[in-house]
Amino acid sequence: MTESHYSLTELMTVAAAREIQDGEVVFAGTGLPMLGAMLAQHTHAPDCCIIFEAGTIASQLAHLPMSVGDPRALHGAALAAGLFEVFDYMLQAGKVDVGFLSGAQIDRFGNINSTSIGPYPGQPKVRFSGSGGACDIACLAKRTVIIARHERRRFPQRVDYITSPGWLRGDNSRMKSGLVRGGPSVVVTTMGVLRFHPETKRLFLASYHPGLTARDVARNTSFRLDIQSATQTPTPSSEELHILRDLVDPERVFLR
């Protein structure tokens, strides 16, 4: 049963959660990725293993953490370690199935810029925080899920700077560069869900959110976006919304 009243954040969270499969190791960050991972753990993926950058491995979250370093992230965890263990024993060892990422710009091949707008390291117009652990996740996770606000300026033909590599120049360029594992699988935005063509690795529109059209999404994308096969994004079920609102984030820390 679907629910007719839901927020955009709830719709995006549900779309992201549905990308997680049972038994997978999930590298989740603060905010919507946490919501999605918790929702998946409460529904179709009870045995997914959630890990956080601060060092928590295999959390069984009872309360939503405010950040990856929040003590609430330790609830039911198999191990309370540190950055080294998460990035070395889990990520570099190839044990992370899916990692969540975001950024200021995402291009048609899923390359992410979270470094600067404009020439870098010359005279950037805007300077951002940089990679953090995002580049490691983009290079070493088996696949990545990208979360982004959908605006023309955020989806350029080419990013100003590749902070976290996606499919680089498309086709097999990622593997040729030495990145033999992973790559982005989906981009969940405020307007729809975009996926990558299996051969060219170019983004195409898989679905547009209710109230929008495929052309709306295309008009808000700087590069040419294939919309031919797009359908409407499936809406959240009553059960998913109940779990999100009453169990995952009852205090509306991140839900809007």
Which of 49, 131, 57 has its CA nearest to residue 88? 57
Q: How confident is the model at residue 3 (pLDDT cuts 50, 70, 90)?
A: low
pLDDT of residue 68: 92
Please tell me the predicted confidence (pLDDT) of residue 121. Answer: 82
CATH 3.40.1080.10 domain residues, the chain: 1-95+235-256, 97-233
User: Which is the CATH superfamily of the domain at 1-95+235-256?
Assistant: Glutaconate Coenzyme A-transferase (3.40.1080.10)
Tell which wins on pLDDT, 248 or 124: 248
Angle CA 42–45–47, to nearest 5:
95
The percent of residues in the chain predicted with pLDDT above 90, rounded, is 94
CATH number of 97-233: 3.40.1080.10
Give pLDDT, residue 134.
96
pLDDT tens-digit profile of 211-254? 999 999 999 999 999 999 999 999 999 999 999 999 999 999 99
Q: Where are the beta strands (DSSP E) in the chain?
A: 25-27, 49-51, 56-59, 79-80, 98-101, 105-106, 112-113, 116-117, 126-127, 143-148, 184-189, 192-196, 203-208, 231-232
Helix, strand, coil percentages (3-state) for the chain, rounded to 5, are: 25, 20, 55
Q: What mean pLDDT is reported for the chain?
A: 95
Q: Tell me what pLDDT residue 197 has.
A: 98
Q: Structure pTM?
A: 0.94
Band of pLDDT at residue 2, cut at 50, 70 and 90: low
pLDDT class of 123 with cuts at 50, 70, 90: confident
pLDDT band at 1; cut points 50, 70, 90: low
How many of the other CB atoms lie within 10 Å of CB of 58? 13
Q: What amino acid positions are annotated as catalytic residues?
A: 53
Output the pLDDT for position 251: 94
